Structure 1
Amino acid sequence: MNIQKSALAGAVEDLWKKYLLSVTAQDMLLGEVADHLYVEDLDFSTSSDRDLISSYVSIGFGDDIGEAAWAVSHGEVPAPYAELSRFMGEEEIGDRLFDYLVSHIRRHPAGDILDNPYYRQVRVEGKTREGHITLTTNDYLPGELIQTYHEGFRKEDPFAYGEGAFFDSPVVFPVLIENGSVWMSVVLSEIESMKEPLERAAGKVITYGLGLGYYTFMASEKEDVESVTVVELNPHMISLFKKKLLPHFPHKEKVHIIEGDALVYIKKQEDGAFDYGFSDFWAGTEVGLPLYLAFAGACSSFRHTAHDYWIENVFIDAFFRPAVMVYLMEKVLGRKEAPLDQGKKAARILRKFISFLDREPISLKGEEDLYHLLDTETLVTLVRKFAAQS
């Protein structure tokens, strides 16, 4: 990579400040999602969403914000969070964290999920068990914090990777429970994250991973989709799906299920046998990262079958854009920063990715070049190339 350091120093410093604020606020946000934050007695009749969400953040995050601002400003947090105090004082840190959370939490009416065609057609009642998997329902209370899908790259907020929301009335949704823990659910983040892959589905479609069949259902509903072939490894999931979910599909004749391992199947799949493919056989980012890269590498030789990957941009947000930031800090400012603790497996992958970046014929001459490199579309292209070479 060809980098003009003197021209980029100020811009990289500014990006680092944005990065530190973003990860501090969003770690707080996703921590409360994991802890099932519930803010009750909200006045949902208020005409201003801004006022409602400000009240929500004050009640739900007020203590956390104060503690975080104090800890950062007094050096009581690990690197790189503590360095935020280099740019602002304790009061400003608290104010900026508050404003950031307000701008990344939304109120949703229940209809945003309940009016979806899948919810109108597919009914899940009681509990059905197959092997170690149980099909049942769960619910959200009004004011319960949930994670939603972060979509798109914005220059003013380049390091966002988590969004939050709450419903203003109860929502009941289907879930799969594996060995006592929720493994998969059709919730708002699932619906939002599959919007674009569903728009692109046409002709003969293949998808890897069955789950609750949301993608399969929605794709089969499209007039321009001829068939939907599903590759699923788990026979218990296939059995549950055929007994309890598939009967509700209006176009079940389009659906064909193959029991098998996605990574084994893709290596034998003929280029052009399908018009469009969609991979969805990982449950989240940490476990999904190596699977996503392995599958992207296996698909890299396809020229006649377009292919997309579930939550690909979330992998970019959570892993690869922060890796680029660490790389820029070292190459431009000469500072070797510790990345966020993302696990040993992810750390090994990202070290290889940084070495890959260093060899790429990319020229960074000004601020616009930096933002172009950080853009999701650019990074997806680079990561897929990295996966093909790994």
Structure 2
Amino acid sequence: MERNTVIIDKITEDNYKVFALLSNYLNNAPDFINKEEIDELVKDGVSHEYAFLVILAAAFGLDVVDNPEDKELFNEYFKKMIHKLEANDYYNNAYYKNIKIPTIKIGNTELKYEKYKPFEGFVCNDIMKTKEGRQIPQIGFFETEFMFPAILENDRIWMTITPNEIETMKEDIDKAFGNVLTFGLGLGYYAYMVSEKETVESVTVVEINEDIINVFNKYVLPQFKNAEKIKIIKADAFKFAEKNMSTSKYDFVFTDLWHDVSDGIDMYLKMKKYERLSPNTVFTYWIEKSILCYL
């Protein structure tokens, strides 16, 4: 029993260490790794992916050759954490192919394309949790520049459609059926993808930001093939959930109100309380797997 406790404590310590290292990297220098460094290692016969994770580990001050603890961290986390992504896998996504985003600004809301630089690191999927309790962030990079749609609020990126959104919404899109309710509009990615499904009859979107609604209605919604399925309601998500959700008899509810885990936990827990008002409805939440890792 004591040995198991020691192992669990060590894994918890490793989890914290990896998250702290990655947080500093992603927030302060996500484009730290450059093509020249990668190419030097690739010349020796290693893959771009392996070159990336070796350079990142070295930047974190890890000695993966002579230090047993660092080597274990490298093998248990880094090798399962870093992913080279193919741009065309995402450019061929239905939304990317069919919806064109203009560069415009209405009020404090700006619609534009942002980009990842070659070899810039970013979160690309939910946290992977192993049976031992290791929590492994998923970090992706592209070999080439990658453009993606974004909404900025007061010059701060608020909503994007990146590989992370595409990957973390796949299950929530696949499960959707009947009359769907979604909290949070953004660029309408979720609304578009589920509206394309024959098993989805309607998509009601609750959004409180009038600028985002106006931008979406004028520039994005007209491009939807099944725009007639979409209904936008300007309202506070939690007030709507409390007063209107159960009476409208939705079959499926998807919540996407947060920017990331850091601002999502409290809203997730608050919205979960309203599930009991609609016992026959299926509820899902964006990046729930990652949020649960922190609870």
TM-score (norm 1): 0.69
What is aligned with 2:212? 237
1:231–1:260 Cα contact (<8 Å) kept: yes
Q: Percent identity?
A: 29
Structure 2 unaligned spans of 5+? none
Superposed CA RMSD: 2.3
Aligned position for 1:348 = none
Partner SS state of residue 203, structure 2: strand
- What is the aligned partner in structure 2 of residue 57 from structure 1? 53
Higher relative contact order (CA 8 A, sep 6+): 1
Cα distance, 1:143 vs. partner? Answer: 0.9
Amino acid at match of 2:109: I
Amino acid across the alignment from 1:296: K
Higher mean alpha-carbon deviation, 267-276 vs 288-297, is at 267-276
How many angstroms does 1:9 deviate by?
A: 2.7
Structure 2 residue aligned with 1:178: 153
* Alpha-carbon spacing, 1:48–1:14, altered in 2? closer, same or farther (3 Å): farther
The residue that corresponds to 1:145 in the other structure is 121
Give the conservation status (yes or no) of the 8 Å contact 2:249–2:278: no
Residues 1:119 and 2:96 are matched in the alignment: yes
Task: Answer yes or no: is the 8 Å Cα contact 2:180–2:203 preserved in 1.
Answer: yes
Describe the SS at the equivalent of 1:228. strand
Rounded Cα–Cα distance in structure 1 between residues aligned with 2:109 and 2:40? 37
- For 1:98, the equivalent position in structure 2 comes to 74
Work out which of the residue numbers 223, 226, 239 in structure 1 matches 2:201: 226
Show CA shifts across 1:53-85 (max 9, x none).
Answer: 23212323313224xx7xxxxxxxxxxxxxxxx
Question: Would you tell me which structure has more strand in proportion to its own residues?
Answer: 2
Which position in structure 2 is the counterpart of 1:210? 185
Matched residue, 1:9:
2
- Cα distance between partner residues in 2 of 1:271 and 1:47: 63
Range 9-18 or range 91-100, more displaced: 91-100
CA positional deviation for 1:51:
3.4
- The whole-number CA distance in structure 2 between the counterparts of 1:225 and 1:98 is 44
Counterparts of residues 262-341 of structure 1 (less than 5 Å): 262-268=237-243, 269-270=245-246, 273-317=249-293, 319-320=294-295
Shift of the alpha carbon at 1:152? Answer: 5.0
Aligned residue for 2:129, secondary structure, equals coil
Contact 2:161 2:189 in 1 (8 A): yes
CA contact (8 A) 1:272 1:304 kept: no
Q: Deviations over 1:342-369 (max 9, x none)?
A: xxxxxxxxxxxxxxxxxxxxxxxxxxxx
Q: Write the letter of the residue equivalent to 1:36.
A: P
**What is the one-letter code of the residue matched to 1:53?**
E
CA deviation after TM superposition for structure 1 residue 297, in Å: 0.6
1:277 and 1:307 in contact (8 A); partners too:
yes
Computing the radius of gyration from Cα coordinates, the structure with the larger value is: 1
Q: Which has the higher helix share?
A: 1
CA separation of 1:135 and 1:50: change in aligned 2, threshold 3 A:
same
Q: In the alignment, is residue 31 of structure 1 matched against residue 31 of structure 2?
A: no
Structure 1 unaligned regions, length at least 5? 1-7, 70-89, 321-390
Equivalents in 2 of 1:282, 1:237: separation in Å?
15
Tell me if the contact between 1:44 and 1:52 (Cα under 8 Å) persists in the aligned partners. no
